[in-house]
A and B are shown apart, each in its own frame.
Chain A
Amino acid sequence: MKKNIIIITFILFTSAVVFTGCKKDKDNGPAERSISFHLHTVVGNTVANYTSVFTDATGRSFTLSDCRYYISNIVFIKDDGTELPMTGKVLLANPATMKYEIGKVPVGKYKGFRFLFGLDSVTNHADPATYPSTSPLSYQNPNIHWGWNTGYIFMKLEGKVDSTAAANGTPDFDFYYHLGLDQMKRTIDFSTTAFEVTSTEDMELGIVFDLKKVLNGVNIPQENFTHTMDNMPLANKIVNNIPAAFEIE
């Protein structure tokens, strides 16, 4: 009988090994902590949303109905200059989400970090259907991929704007900015924004993305649309505003 118990114990133990064998043990030791972006998409001093009425730099009012953008190729730079690329990590940012988990990094001092607004060309031309539905690179609804070789829409910004000449009306006129194409990616450089990851706490990096700055110099009612290819000058103008629209909070 004793022997039976030993055998059964052995079986249970082996089964448990079979069950868990494929799962990697996570080492939550103090050598690494998770790091995330705390990303505020704002219009001036207000957190962006799809209900409020905002004003652009010239005082013209507008609303938002879609605001999503890709962030990728995040690299953390350690104090000794070693770079820690977060390979494969892609964020599809939107105003309603503030916290974006990025991964785990070693505890220690960091010189700074950088990331891409948009996607690198390899990622940009992969087939969205091959990603699991939980991936920001899978097909989305509303869509954020052109369905063409041109790839993903790096930023979709849509809403309504006050079209009155005196800018004293209410938002009534559609605008839509669909920015993409390989050449529209931009490196956002915070390589001199030093921070430290301690063993006692997960790290959050506060970042602000200001749509007022994104739309700087854009006369929204006059320049109310671009799908990039069909209005390159406007797409370039908006994209060139983007690096300065990111700030450390």
Chain B
Amino acid sequence: MSNKITGVLSIIIFVIISSILITSCRKDDAIDTGNEILELQVPTGFPYPDIPEDNQPTKNRIALGKKLFFDPILSRDSTISCASCHHEDKKMTDGLPVSQGIDGRHVLRNAMTVLNTAYQPNMFWDGGSPTLEQQVVAPIESHEEMDFNVLKVVERLKNHPEYPELFLKAYNLEPSPYTLTRAIANFERTLFTGKSKYDEYQYDKNMNALSESEKRGMDLFFGERAECFHCHGGFNFTDFSFKNNGLYLVYADSGRARITTLHSDVGKFKVPSLRNVALTAPYMHDGSMATLEEVVEHYSSGGKPHFNKSFLIQPLNLTQQEKTDLINFMKALTDL
């Protein structure tokens, strides 16, 4: 063999070895489209939500998150999944005044919907969790909900016959608190609601979509007399702020003050979205109101004079017809 050939061969071998070294840590992407970044289909009139750079939606991530959301593997005794309290047929709420978790334990509060949570600047009635990703750990480790530990969940997932492969496909990483929380949040960001009779009227300009009563209710809702829109305004029927709407003189649950410890936040709760409100009874943070009639009665009376009650909550003295109209309008916010 000539020296020249050996030299060339050696260089080729070197290049091959080097490129193996360099690429050996990277897994080959499947040829399928599972890891393509998707554009979410948001309802008409809605802005595109902010999505963290490290958790852009892909088919594989959404599928993994969905599987986890419906899997009781997340709870200590494998009986409770996220869907136990966020039912699809109740617009991702549970129909109970306050939720029930593991061993029949009662949660402090009424279950919130996870629809349109992509838009929530913070999570929970008190805004106590900053992101959808971080929120995932709260129910897992809550004594009343799943009563488990996120590291123990991860251990189970690592020993599961399917999950390790699915995590690898979705994030190119093994199950960990990081990938677990990313996956569930990724799925939740795909859950939208925004196609009601009201949307047909408002965005599709179908003037016949709403009845006369619903239209009168809408005018009340968006008018300066009932003032509902000041708090329940915008595409998601909430301004995402924390307000006290005068439910009690003394609140058993201090609400936002639990997080900020401020006296000026006592009894303030996140303004809930009113989309699908006809399907998400009972109402308020503690599920204390069973019907929309009760809610409207509350606002008509002006509520209790709590020191943090918003100045927007004043006696409205609505007529029976006005109450009916307001309720009919809220019922028109149900997805078709």
Contact = CB atoms under 8 A, between A and B. Distances in A.
B201 interface: no
Contacts of A142: 149
Contacts of B14: 11, 14-15
Contacts of B127: 149
A112 B100 CA distance: 54
Interface in B169-201: 176-178, 180-182
Interface stretch (A71-79, A133-141, A199-207): A133-141
B152 A141 contact: yes
A137 to B, nearest CB: 11
B17 interface: yes
A181 B261 contact: yes
Interface stretch (A43-51, A124-132, A238-246): A124-132
Interface stretch (B135-143, B211-219, B228-236, B298-306): B135-143
B259 interface: yes
Nearest to A140: B151
Given A7-B7, A11-B10, A11-B14, A147 B142 contact: yes
Contacts of B21: 18-19
Contact of A148 (B13, B128, B177, B180): B128
Contact of B137 (A11, A147, A181, A232): A147
B62 interface: no
Given A138-B177, A140-B151, A149-B122, A125 B130 contact: yes
B138 to A, nearest CB: 4
A167 interface: no
Contact of B128 (A138, A141, A150): A150
A147 B177 contact: no
A183 B182 CA distance: 30
Contacts of B122: 149
Given A147-B129, A148-B128, A141 B151 contact: yes
Contacts of B140: 147
Given A148-B128, A150-B259, A129 B6 contact: no
A28 interface: no
B330 interface: no
Contacts of B259: 148-150, 229
A143 B7 CA distance: 59
A4 interface: yes
Interface string B121-135: 010100111110110
A232 B257 CA distance: 12
A23 interface: no
A7 B17 contact: no
A8 interface: yes
Interface of B: 3, 6-7, 10-11, 13-14, 17-18, 21, 122, 124, 127-131, 133-134, 137-138, 140-142, 149-152, 176-178, 180-182, 258-259, 261
Interface of A: 1, 3-4, 7-8, 11, 14-15, 18-19, 125, 127-130, 133, 138-143, 145, 147-150, 181, 183, 229, 232
